[in-house]
Copies of this chain bind each other. A is one copy, B any other.
Amino acid sequence: MKISIRIQREDFDLNREVTMLAGDGESGAVASFTGHVRKEEDLSTLTLEHYPHMTEAEIARLVGEAGIRWELTGVTIVHRVGPLKPGERIVLVAIASQHRHAAFAACEFLMDYLKTHAPFWKEETRGSEHHWVEHRASDDEAAKRWQK
Q: A104 in the interface, Cβ–Cβ < 8 Å?
A: yes
Tell me whether B38 and A25 are in contact (CB under 8 A).
Answer: yes
A33 neighbours in B (Cβ, 8 Å)? 29-32, 100, 103-104
Cα–Cα, bound, A37→B101 (Å): 17
Chain copies in the assembly?
A: 2
User: For window 9-55 of chain A, which residues contact chain B by CB distance below 8 Å?
Assistant: 13-16, 18, 22-39
Q: Which of B15, B22, B23, B35 contacts A29 (CB 8 A)?
A: B35
A116 neighbours in B (Cβ, 8 Å)? none
Tell me whether A25 and B86 are in contact (CB under 8 A).
Answer: yes
Cα–Cα, bound, A33→B36 (Å): 17
Tell me whether A100 and B35 are in contact (CB under 8 A).
Answer: yes
